[in-house]
Amino acid sequence: MPNIKSAIKRVKTSEKRRLINAAKKSALRTAIKTVDTAIEDKNAESAKAALSDAIKKLDKAASKGLIHKNAASRKKSRLTKKVNAL
């Protein structure tokens, strides 16, 4: 544990951010899996609804720096291709 006041604060804030980022990343993965599940079930309506939610979360994650913007773009492209193929 650090002794300097600013370092103590940095440890606390880093841990808070880590937990928030982990939760958001987990929600993002869940949204992507929901789209994949709907595609496997051949359910076009629910796939499109889940896709819009996943795209929203991907954009948000990329803008906040949680994932790289090119990674978000790639994931959106691949999901959209799969949904359009239904």
Ranges of each domain in the chain:
5-84
Q: What is the CATH number of domain 5-84?
A: 1.20.58.110
pLDDT digits (tens, 9 = 90+) for 15-63: 999 999 999 999 999 999 999 999 999 999 999 999 999 999 999 999 9
3-state secondary structure of 42: coil
Q: Are 35 and 79 in contact (CB under 8 A)?
A: yes
- Residue 1 confidence class, pLDDT cut points 50, 70, 90: confident
Whole-model pTM: value is: 0.86
The rounded distance, in Å, linking the Cα atoms of 17 and 27 is 15
Q: Hey, is 1 helix, strand or coil?
A: coil
Q: What's the alpha-carbon Rg for the chain, to the nearest Å?
A: 17
